[in-house]
Amino acid sequence: MSYAHITRPDTIGSITASKLLPSAGHFINTYGNLLQAGETLTLIEFADRIDAHHNNFRTMIEAGELRRWLELIHYCEDSIVNFGTLPVEFEYTDGVYDFDDIVKVLGPEAMNFLLSEQAA
């Protein structure tokens, strides 16, 4: 499974998201009902659906966290491919993140994945 997708294989099957995504379990438990049986969405589509179905500040923040996480992991992968290293800074709509912030946003599983890509 791609880290950029969330899937609900059928009506009785469990919803799956990448283990790289911090709080994947929270998103599945809280918003999994927004997925139809047999549906696979990108995290961006899932975040858009969260925004569309829940009109409150907390869910807007959580949907934004999904978008930011995905944008950041893509940026880090791009940096590894093009420069052979992880970025030391990341600019997003809500500010500039230094390396320590990047580590916090991505979470340990995603960092381990990226470090293994960097070493390869």
- The model's pLDDT over 70-85, given as tens digits with 9 standing for 90+, comes to 999 999 999 999 999 9
pTM of this structure = 0.90
SS3 content of the chain, % helix, strand, coil (to 5): 60, 15, 25
pLDDT digits (tens, 9 = 90+) for 5-26: 999 988 766 889 999 999 999 9
Largest CA-CA distance found in the chain, in angstroms, rounded: 44
Structural domain harbouring 33:
5-119
Q: Rg (Cα) of the chain, in Å, rounded? A: 15
Sort residue 16 into left (φ over 0), alpha (ψ -120 to 50) or beta.
beta
In the chain, the percentage of residues whose pLDDT exceeds 70 is 97
Query: Which residues make beta-bridge pairs with 41?
Result: 6
Total domain count, the chain: 1
